Amino acid sequence: MTAGTFRALEPSAAWRKTLWIGGAGSVVGFFAVGAIYHTLPWYQKTLSGSVAVAGSVGGFASVYTFLMCFYHRKSFLGAVAGVVGFALPLAGVFALLFALRLPANRAQFWVALPACLIGEAIFEVVKKLHFGSGTVKSVNGE
């Protein structure tokens, strides 16, 4: 699909296409962040699952945000939002570890919760911006 055909889609069709492509970004983020984290000298096995989940959420959020901004012809904003959308879930995991003064070698899987909440917040904000103009019908017809 080229840029012209993506931008020519109806808003709800562009939404669905973005969700599918964002799912692929989620898989790439999961494996890329997991592989990079595994090679770092401060790698902790107990934290690796949470970091990989944060990478997955970040991969989805960055691709999804970039494509929605690209659809609305805001490519530079999309690039910036994509980088921020990728970094925020990872930062949420490490911020929770820091705030609770929890050592990484004793971290449980629930440490990934901030990444999921941040990803959901990004998803809802972009969805509201995409369908919030009043002229666009949402996927459910609301």
φ, ψ of residue 17 to 5 degrees: the values are -65, -40
Q: Which residue has the tokens 């999921």?
A: 116
Residue 91 confidence (pLDDT): 92
pLDDT at 137: 52
Is 40 exposed, middle or buried, given 0-12, 13-18 or 19+ CB atoms closer than 10 A? exposed
Return the pLDDT at 133: 59
Q: How high is the pLDDT of residue 22?
A: 92
Residues 61, 99 contacting (CB under 8 angstroms): no
pLDDT of residue 75: 85
Q: What is the residue-level pLDDT of the chain in tens, covering all 142 positions?
A: 666 788 888 888 999 999 999 999 999 999 999 899 889 888 888 888 889 999 999 999 999 999 998 888 888 988 999 999 999 999 998 898 888 888 877 778 888 888 999 999 999 998 888 887 554 455 555 5
Q: What is the DSSP letter of 40?
A: S
pLDDT value of position 97: 86
Whole-angstrom CA distances from 88 to 5, 9, 50 are 31, 29, 14
- Nearest partner of 51 among 20, 30, 22, judged by Cα: 30
pLDDT at 45: 84
Q: How far apart are CA 77 and CA 7, in angstroms?
A: 16
- Count CB-CB contacts under 10 A for residue 138: 13
Q: Measure the CA–CA gap between 142 and 131, rounded to whole angstroms.
A: 10
Do residues 57 and 26 touch, judged by C-beta distance below 8 A?
Answer: yes
